Amino acid sequence: MAFDPIGDYPLGTRRPDLVTTPSGVPLGDVTLDAIRAGTLDADEIRATPATLRLQAQVALAAGRTQLAESLERAAELAAVPDDLLLEIYTALRPRRATAAELEAWASRLEGHDAAKTAAFVREAGAAYAERGLLADG
């Protein structure tokens, strides 16, 4: 059955067959009992890139383009290691990175197949330069 971003929302209720954990556990098997029993760990309680992309389609169908773009970037970042994400987050704070450092982060993101997020970092770098929010150096 094809995905209908309007009729299939909310996914967890109308199309739970499309929602799984990162290792493929179906949504219906994600329960407190499974967590208590140790059959699911914290890494399994995450949105997958596929689910985030479906949610982006829902947002786009509802005319919420900015939310859809954010969800697309989130889908890219779901595969990026947490420690790298934290480093990038820190670098994106005002006056924490130079233009060259932000460009290096954007290049690293492209290496993780996160082109939309890399473009976002470059856009932030340009905005920071315009507003005097880049680090000295």
Same domain, 12 and 55: yes
C-beta separation of 54 from 5 below 8 A:
yes
Q: What letter would DSSP give residue 26?
A: B
pLDDT of residue 43: 84
DSSP 136: P
Residues 102 and 65 sit within 8 Å (Cβ to Cβ): no
Angle of helix 82-91 relative to helix 99-111, nearest 10 degrees? 160
86-113 pLDDT, tens digit each:
999 999 999 999 999 999 999 999 999 9
Return the percentage of the chain with pLDDT > 70, whole number: 100
Among residues 40, 62, 79, the one where a domain terminates is 79
One domain for residues 124 and 67? no
Query: Please, which residues have CB within 8 angstroms of residue 69's CB and are 6 or more apart in sequence?
Result: 56, 116
88 and 52 in one domain? no
Residue 48 and residue 9 share a domain? yes
Evaluate if residue 1 carries a pLDDT over 90.
Answer: no
pLDDT of 137 above 80: no
pLDDT digits (tens, 9 = 90+) for 38-79: 999 888 888 999 999 999 999 999 999 999 999 999 999 998
For residues 125-136, average pLDDT: 97
Residue 104 to residue 92: CA distance in whole angstroms: 12
4 and 69 part of one domain: yes
Q: What is the pLDDT of residue 25?
A: 94
**pLDDT score, position 122:** 98
The residues that bridge with 20 in the sheet, in sequence order, are 26
